Amino acid sequence: MTTTTTSLHKASCPQPGATSGWISAPSSPTPLLDHAVLERLREDLSEYDVWRVFVQNFITALPLRIEKVRVALTTGDADGAMDAVLSLKTASQMVGAERLAALAADLEAAQREGIRVADPAVALPRLAVDYLHRIKQRAGQTSYALRTHLDTARQPRTINSQP
């Protein structure tokens, strides 16, 4: 009896710029930043310019979030990987980082499918190979765009109480 197996890695490795073999590519391009989300954030948190602090905190925490994803994936920690990728996705959505959130959602779906069809100790490190470089690149682009947005956003008007 002869059996033929296909390497899970070969089945899951995307071509450069593509998504994992476990899920399909998005049908429409997503903006790097959703400026409507940033504007709503600015309106909701305008007092004391809290929205700026919120966005700056996202930028500051981004490397740590990515590191948590990396560690969980490379060690095959399914629960930790899901927690880390959901944290990255949700935080990205909150600041309008649409492409980063979409990439995190893609990784989330790939994780769910990967651990369904293979041992997490095998599937998750392979997803790290497939996704981490792109996540780091997208995070750098997003951080740059958010810093630029913060630099160019109108400063709050001050009311001069003197006649």
Cα separation, 89 vs 91, in Å, equals 6
CA dihedral angle for residue 150, residue 42, residue 142, residue 20, rounded to 10 degrees: 180
| pLDDT score, position 153 | 82
Cα separation, 123 vs 88, in Å, equals 20
Q: Which fold has domain 31-151?
A: Four Helix Bundle (Hemerythrin (Met), subunit A) (1.20.120)
Helix (H) or strand (E) holding 35: helix 35-44
Per-residue pLDDT tens digits of the chain, which is 163 residues long: 443 333 333 333 343 334 433 333 444 588 999 999 999 998 998 887 899 999 999 999 999 999 999 999 999 999 999 999 999 999 999 999 999 999 999 999 999 999 999 999 999 999 999 999 999 999 999 999 999 999 988 665 444 545 4
String of DSSP letters for 50-111: HHHHHHHHHHHHHHHHHHHHHHHHHTT-HHHHHHHHHHHHHHHHHTT-HHHHHHHHHHHHHH
Asked if 127 and 13 count as a contact pair (C-beta separation under 8 A), the reply is no
Asked if 41 and 146 count as a contact pair (C-beta separation under 8 A), the reply is no
The domain ranges of the chain are 31-151
| pLDDT score, position 108 | 98
Cα separation, 149 vs 35, in Å, equals 9
- Between the two ends of the chain, the Cα-to-Cα distance in Å is 95
Give the tokens for residue 154.
């109108």
